[in-house]
Amino acid sequence: MYNYNKKIKKNLKQTINQYQLIKKYSKHSLIKIYLITGKKHQIRIHLTHIGHPIMYDQKYGNKLINEKNSNILLHSKSIKFKCPISKKKLHIKAQYHTNFKIFIRQLKGEN
């Protein structure tokens, strides 16, 4: 598990992610990210800042590659939080989007 802890701009608050390599392909990687802080675009900004932008990220990614597809390959597998109204702890899970599954199958053909 790796930590990324960075202030991207001087006037912004510090943001922290932890990430773990799940699978390395020849030109791409599948990673798991744990948000320690929850700031807008923090995953996208951090990965771009360290030279590993998210595929098809129109705002922060590689413009030439991203012209081909407008569906960012970023998926939230699950989220845990405390409901501000009921105060109950919630854990919500989601399946991969079809485009995400297709891309992963294509990556398996790379190696």
Q: What whole-number distance in Å separates Cα of residue 104 and Cα of residue 25? A: 10
What pLDDT score was predicted for residue 6? Answer: 55
Q: Which amino acid is at 52?
A: H
CA-wise closest residue to 49 among 27, 19, 75: 19
Bridging pattern class, strands 2-6 and 15-24 = antiparallel
79-107 tens-digit pLDDT: 889 999 999 999 999 998 888 888 888 88
| Domains identified in the chain, total number | 1
Supply the range of the domain harboring residue 99: 2-108
**Distance (Å, whole) CA 45 – CA 49:** 6
Q: Say yes or no to pLDDT of 57 above 90.
A: no
pTM over 0.85: no
User: Which pLDDT value is given to residue 15?
Assistant: 79
State which amino acid sits at residue 70.
S
% of the chain at pLDDT higher than 90: 13
Q: Residue 92 belongs to a domain with what CATH number?
A: 3.30.2350.10
CA angle 40, 52, 73 (to 5 degrees): 65
